[in-house]
Amino acid sequence: MIYDPLELTTELIKCRSVTPKNDGAIELLSERLDRIGFNCEIVEFSEDNSESIKNLWAIIGNGSPVLSFAGHTDVVPEGDESLWNTPPFEGKNDGEKIIGRGAADMKGSISSFISAASIFLENKEEFNGSIALIITGDEEGPAINGTEKLLSWMEENNHTFDDCIVGEPTNPNKLGEMIKIGRRGSTNITIKVNGVEGHVAYPKLAENPIPNLISLLNELIDKPFDQGNEHFDASNIEITSIDTDNLASNVIPSDITARLNIRYNSNFTKEKIETEIKRRLKNINFDYEINYQHSGDSFITKPGKLATSLSKIIEGHCGITPDLSTTGGTSDARFIKNYGRVIEFGLVGSSMHKANEFSYNNDIEKLRDIYLDLIQEYFTQ
């Protein structure tokens, strides 16, 4: 049985799987993969103060090497539906493109890989190794009960892989432009400075925390963290908000809070980031509170056989030599890299998270062909 990637993309979009809802998306994939011989396990995780999430592990073959594909069926909310030209969960195919939430990020790439696997298995009764899928329903949300827990479950149950392709929409504007071989780390920082509330006309009876925070922030942002390296741009820190919750113009506030985000390259780890922040603030002589929330460490998968093969295949189909990049935000690759080699390649991301998100039919079909050639080459090496 061979699956049409366009039809499967539309079927998946019809599942209103806005995080943390599943709406049958995981079951749909499990059923389709089961039909072509995959052994499928739907694994559900939950913990206090978070939604229960369904995830999917599927595998076919015998032993190593194991080539896996990782993706997510959950999508961001549709936003203002009046801005859409077609219902966001209809998955309309107008003959040129498929429009719908998740068409680019990333139901189209999941469908392309499953279609590629179905063609490979239809034409090859036996092959040396295994094909696996690691699918979560919790990538766009807090990522508490998704890929990270699924990988731990896989380890406990002796499910391993050698190489993994994550189907994120890596291409900025045109299919074939970019393969992701790493990601920057991300740390959110909250800093609170306390003062003494009072009337602005009597400053000696109060202590304004705002000037203190300003001096503290200047210490943090005065100098760059680094100059980057071979694979990464320079690390950067951004102030994202400063709040006093003060609505009165004649009151000195009692406290002020700043929020910052650091995107850091492989020169740093989360531990080194905290050490660097502490070093920069060593001369601050007033009390402040600081909290860190780390959402993924930096990593690099140094270009090897998989990236080299994929690059050549992309060039053959798209006429482009893709950049090997580490730009962008975080993805589930930040978890996967702890268990095997991982790279990312999917559709074009220019419309993701927007109204009228779409992918061109030709791109979805071409991505299927790229994945198919990669699977075939992987198991003939």
Partnered with residue 255 across adjacent β-strands are 194
**In this structure, what CATH number is given to the domain that contains residue 116?**
3.40.630.10
Same domain, 141 and 162: yes
Same domain, 244 and 368: no
Instruction: List all residues 6 or more positions away from 116 whose beta carbon is below 8 Å from its beta carbon.
Output: 368, 369, 371, 372, 375
Helix (H, G, I), strand (E, B) or coil at 96: coil
Would you name the residues annotated as active-site residues?
74, 139
- CA–CA separation, 64 and 163 (whole Å): 10
Enter the tokens of residue 242: 């400063």
Q: Give the pLDDT of residue 296.
A: 81
Same domain, 11 and 35: yes
> Could you identify the residue written with the tokens 């791109």?
363
Same domain, 206 and 63: no
- CA–CA separation, 92 and 310 (whole Å): 30
Last residue of a domain, one of 279, 294, 309: 294
For 224-259, the DSSP string reads: -S----SS-PPPEEEEEEEE-----TTEE-SEEEEE
Same domain, 70 and 162: yes
Supply the DSSP symbol for 289: E
> Could you identify the residue written with the tokens 């071989």?
181
Beta-strand ranges (E) seen in 2-153 are: 39-45, 53-62, 66-72, 92-93, 97-99, 129-136
Last residue of a domain, one of 235, 263, 294: 294
**Strand 66-72 to strand 129-136: parallel, antiparallel, or no bridges (unpaired)?**
parallel
Same domain, 219 and 245: yes
Cis peptide before 5 (omega within 30 of 0): no
Supply the DSSP symbol for 50: S
Last residue of a domain, one of 233, 261, 294: 294
Helix (H, G, I), strand (E, B) or coil at 327: coil
CB 174: neighbour CB atoms within 10 A?
12
Same domain, 116 and 204: no
In degrees and rounded to multiples of 5, residue 299 shows phi and psi of -155, 160
* Residue from 133, 112, 116 nearest 42 by CA: 133
Same domain, 357 and 282: no
Query: Cβ distance 104 to 168 under 8 Å?
Result: no
Same domain, 144 and 192: no
Same domain, 34 and 163: yes
Query: Cβ distance 339 to 92 under 8 Å?
Result: no
Q: 25 lies in which domain range?
A: 5-183+298-378
Task: Give the chain's domain count.
Answer: 2
Same domain, 215 and 153: no
Beta-strand ranges (E) seen in 37-78 are: 39-45, 53-62, 66-72
Q: Give the pLDDT of residue 381.
A: 64
- CA–CA separation, 260 and 239 (whole Å): 4
Per-residue confidence of the chain (381 residues) as pLDDT tens digits?
999 999 999 999 999 999 999 999 999 999 999 999 999 999 999 998 889 999 999 999 999 999 999 999 999 999 999 999 999 999 999 999 999 999 999 999 999 999 999 999 998 878 999 999 999 999 999 899 999 999 999 999 999 999 999 999 999 999 999 999 999 999 999 999 999 999 999 999 999 999 999 999 999 999 999 999 989 999 999 999 999 999 999 999 999 999 999 999 999 999 999 999 999 999 999 999 999 999 888 999 888 899 999 999 999 999 999 999 998 888 999 999 999 999 999 999 999 999 999 999 999 999 999 999 999 999 986
Q: Give the pLDDT of residue 285.
A: 94
pTM of the model: 0.89
Same domain, 197 and 218: yes
> Using alpha carbons only, how large is the chain's radius of gyration in Å?
24
